[in-house]
Amino acid sequence: MVAPGRNVVGPDNEVMDLGGQWVAIEADEDLRRSFPRPDFDDGAWQPVRVPGHWQAEPAFATSDGPLLYRRRFEMAPLAEAERAWLVMDGIFYQSDVWLDGSYLGDTEGYFFSHSFDVTLAVNARSEHLLAIEVGCERRARGATTRSLLGAFASSAGIDPARNPGGIWAPVRAQRSGPVRISSLRAICTEAGPQRAVLDFFAMLDSSGPLTAMLRTRVSGLSGEAPCAVMDKRQPLAEGPNRVRWQVEVLEPRLWWPVGLGDQVLHDIDVEIEVDGGRSDGKVLRTGLRQVRMHNFVWAVNGERLFLKGANLLPTRPDPAYASPGEVAADVALARDAGLNLLRAHSHVARPEVYEAADRLGVLIWQDMPLQGTFKGARSQAVRQAAAAVDLLAHHPSIVVWCGHNEPFSTISPRRRAATGAAPPGRTGLAAGTALRWAAGQVLPSWNKTVLDHSVRRTLEKADPSRPAVAHSGRLPHPAWGTDSHLYFGWRHGGLRDLSRAAALWPAAVRFVSELGAQAVPGTASFMRPERWPDLDWDHLVEHHCLEKEIFDQRVPPAQYPTFEMWREATQAYQADLVRAQVEALRRLRSGPVGGFAVFCLSDAQPAVSAAVLDHDRRPKAAYGALQAACAPVLVVAQWPAASYASSSDLVLEVHVVNDLGQALAGAKVEATLRWPGGGRRWQFGGEVGGRDCTFVGRLKAALPSLARLPAPPGGAGAVASWPLVLELELRWAGGTELVRNRYESSITAGGESPLRGRGAMARGE
């Protein structure tokens, strides 16, 4: 008889889910010695959910662990030659595992499965006790650590006080035959019109020396016959066996990113047979395509493309509680914004992200979960890099591996305020802080020189089909580029300084993998807006990501009488910055820029952040600005100055950016400049190249003198400022769309005013 609440695996069932209600308690030395015993009394322990995170349980809401977990279950005896396995798909972050009082081993790493052979234990008895000690070290912001938690420990979008510790993914008991596929890696190393090649690497665990039949089938998703089949007799020794093989697909249907072609996917079925019976098998879904990168300019299947992207944070700070639908929805929101790239920022995401990216043609920049500085983590980082390739390499959407994000110490806003260092706004950092920051960027260190290059070499060896970069966010060498994090207009410089940096130091904008500014979200009840202006600023800084000292420079709260007015101003500033800088980078697509990734797409929690979608996926104004700036066809001018003096000359260049595969024949651009009582109009014509940025012309206009302008709007005593508007329109032969763009500035009596240039974009029929 089966006891209530227990699951049983019978001979006809291969997998038993061990999720549901467990019991747990905080660890101490006495409990550690006794809790693995099956006869230990856990009646006073607290119930917890698995999968889950312990801080979601009321009894452990403030705990940093470690926690001791226990779960009883029953399992029917194994058939002859069968083997049993305990598989844990995800544990934050380290664990020690016992079954029936016997120690199985330890685990480290949150994003991949850990398994143990439990055949002897299952054959010895039918009732079992699973005991696991789980630890997750919460990292202090800016501190050195050895735990690879990435965005879950040191992200700009997650409360650093949160601890993701727990058994966050399914736990199961699983049967196999004499041979089990412990891991399977599939990589498309070649893809062209005539043939594609899939490289396979598997770890096969055998109960003894034998010969197995290894069967591989590559099929389409429409029920058609397999497009490639390979059977191979494979001799195996007892224990783990590394096996490599290739499968060739003739005249393949290729997978393409969005905008370049269809997203054709194939199922790969790998099966192990022993003595004519199925021993184990795995199914992967993949696409056939080839990726190349040179100087951060990507080509897929030989077609060069400009990457328009955003950084992607975890869907929620506690990944166990995000539904598959909401995880996949973020990829669709990125595609709806006109993006073709997501950077999995400092974390390995849930499987639904990669599956959705494969279906929708959105490319993935895959970070390892390393951010900040580490100590003593080299062997673990190398091991987890190889595990990431095993887990993800079959996804065609992944186009680059990145070893380490910002491999240097950062200064938290609270620490910066406590030490009196100036915030990184218009005035820059305090001299000592700036020197330490520059030294951390430029000088060699164990993290940058040893750790990161070890991780990169591992990624390159495990997956030769894709590029791998050692780290992200380090200043580039003056002569060659890497990816850069350029927060002009927020943490340093001004909104227009990105364009100036591109002119002075082209390598700095080879690929801008972070840019943006914070804005207050539409869903802001967590800020207690009814207390305006006396918000709990310290709490918002510490737990909701707000960078108060930068807001005090860019969009000062003290200047706004209501919370709603300040929120609107922050969103307008963020939208202007995102649009201006994305437009600038798209104008430079032919050289030297290969793409960009704004920071970031969406919030994981209630936050005041640089995300363009808040934690409820309610769009900020910057989402619409990003969507407009990423339109396939775009007519743009240089971003105008905030204001121009009367009687001065205005000079702006106009370009058309075309991401379509075909040229725009018979293109006509009309530019109209207006000010009160006058204006200028220009017309240009010609052909716009496909997947190119085409220079249209230069607008030159002498702005009116004060004598030719009417009285300032607002009457006597008003600031002497007049609106200045530039409107652009693009048409082309055979095109059904009218592409528009609009820029707003002002004319002043005496030079630059505090007003900033504004813009708006539209597409019409």
CA-nearest of 109, 344, 613 to 352 is: 344
If you write DSSP's letter for every residue of 219-248 in order, what string do you get? Answer: EESSSPPPSEEEEEEEEE-SEEEEEEEEEE
Assess whether 314 and 457 both reside in one domain.
yes
For the chain, the first-to-last Cα distance in angstroms comes to 71
Residue 602: per-residue pLDDT: 97
| Contact by Cβ (8 Å): 128, 159 | no
Q: Phi-psi bin for 736: left (phi > 0), alpha (psi -120 to 50), beta?
A: alpha
Going by C-beta distance under 8 Å and a sequence separation of 6 or more, which residues neighbour residue 628? 579, 760, 761, 762, 763
As a dihedral over the C-alpha atoms of residue 369, residue 371, residue 376, residue 380, rounded to 10 degrees, the angle is: 10
| Contact by Cβ (8 Å): 258, 360 | yes
- Residue 656 is part of a domain; what is its CATH number? 2.60.40.10
Average pLDDT estimate for 650-659: 95
In terms of residue numbers, what domain contains 496?
291-631
Assess whether 678 and 549 both reside in one domain.
no
The share of the chain scoring above pLDDT 90, in percent, equals 78
Hey, what are 195's tokens? 């043939």
Does residue 388 sit within a domain?
yes
Does residue 8 sit within a domain?
no
**In which element (H, E) is residue 552 found?**
helix 548-554
Does residue 334 sit within a domain?
yes
Assess whether 488 and 568 both reside in one domain.
yes
Does residue 325 sit within a domain?
yes
Q: Looking at 10-19, 81-90, 673-682, which range is the least confident one?
A: 10-19
CA distance 674 to 696: 20
| Contact by Cβ (8 Å): 645, 751 | yes
**pTM, whole model, 2 decimals?**
0.92
- Of 176, 205, 223, which residue sits at a domain end? 176
Does residue 7 sit within a domain?
no
CA distance 727 to 669: 10
Predicted confidence (pLDDT) at residue 417 exceeds the cutoff of 80: no
User: How many Cβ atoms from other residues are within 10 Å of residue 601's Cβ?
Assistant: 27
Residue environment code for 231-241, b if the CB has 16+ CB neighbours within 10 A, otherwise e? eeebebeeeeb
Q: Which residues pair with 598 in a beta bridge?
A: 310
Assess whether 353 and 405 both reside in one domain.
yes
Question: Residues 451-462: pLDDT tens digits?
Answer: 999 999 999 999
SS3 at position 653? strand
Residue 420: per-residue pLDDT: 36
Predicted confidence (pLDDT) at residue 418 exceeds the cutoff of 90: no
Going by C-beta distance under 8 Å and a sequence separation of 6 or more, which residues neighbour residue 738? 729, 730, 731, 763, 764, 765
Assess whether 396 and 453 both reside in one domain.
yes
Residue 142: per-residue pLDDT: 54
* Pairing, β 127-135 against β 171-176: unpaired
Does residue 6 sit within a domain?
no
- Residue 149 is part of a domain; what is its CATH number? 2.60.120.260
If you write DSSP's letter for every residue of 449-482 in order, what string do you get? Answer: IIIHHHHHHHHHHH-TTS-EES-BSPPPPTTS--
- Of 286, 303, 332, which residue sits at a domain end? 286
- Residue 428 is part of a domain; what is its CATH number? 3.20.20.80
Average pLDDT estimate for 640-657: 93
Assess whether 235 and 305 both reside in one domain.
no
User: Structurally, how many domains does the chain consist of?
Assistant: 4
Q: Which residues pair with 186 in a beta bridge?
A: 200
> Which amino acid appears at position 267 of this protein?
D
Residue 505 or 17, more confident: 17
Assess whether 378 and 494 both reside in one domain.
yes
Assess whether 311 and 453 both reside in one domain.
yes
Residue 757: per-residue pLDDT: 42
Average pLDDT estimate for 473-494: 83
CA distance 554 to 43: 57
Assess whether 172 and 183 both reside in one domain.
no
Hey, what are 516's tokens? 């943006």
Residue 421: per-residue pLDDT: 37
CA distance 55 to 63: 7
Question: Residues 164-221: pLDDT tens digits?
Answer: 999 999 999 999 999 999 999 999 999 999 999 999 999 999 999 999 999 999 998 8
CA distance 735 to 514: 34
Average pLDDT estimate for 630-655: 94
Assess whether 257 and 394 both reside in one domain.
no
How far, rounded to the nearest angstrom, does the alpha carbon of residue 521 sit from its chain's CA centroid? 20
> Which amino acid appears at position 716 of this protein?
A
Assess whether 377 and 514 both reside in one domain.
yes
CA-nearest of 668, 670, 672, 698 to 686 is: 668
Does residue 380 sit within a domain?
yes
Going by C-beta distance under 8 Å and a sequence separation of 6 or more, which residues neighbour residue 156? 545, 599, 600, 609, 610
CA distance 411 to 407: 13
Residue 439 or 408, more confident: 408
- Of 253, 286, 319, which residue sits at a domain end? 286
Confidence of residue 598 (pLDDT cuts 50, 70, 90): very high
CA distance 397 to 329: 16
Going by C-beta distance under 8 Å and a sequence separation of 6 or more, which residues neighbour residue 447? 373, 374, 404, 407, 408
Assess whether 123 and 194 both reside in one domain.
no
Q: What angle do CA 457, 116, 47 make, to 5 degrees?
A: 110
Mean residue pLDDT across the chain: 90
Q: Looking at 293-302, 440-449, 670-679, which range is the least confident one?
A: 440-449
Residue 154: per-residue pLDDT: 74
Does residue 10 sit within a domain?
no
Question: Residues 368-411: pLDDT tens digits?
Answer: 999 999 998 999 999 999 999 999 999 999 999 999 999 987 65
Predicted confidence (pLDDT) at residue 715 exceeds the cutoff of 80: no
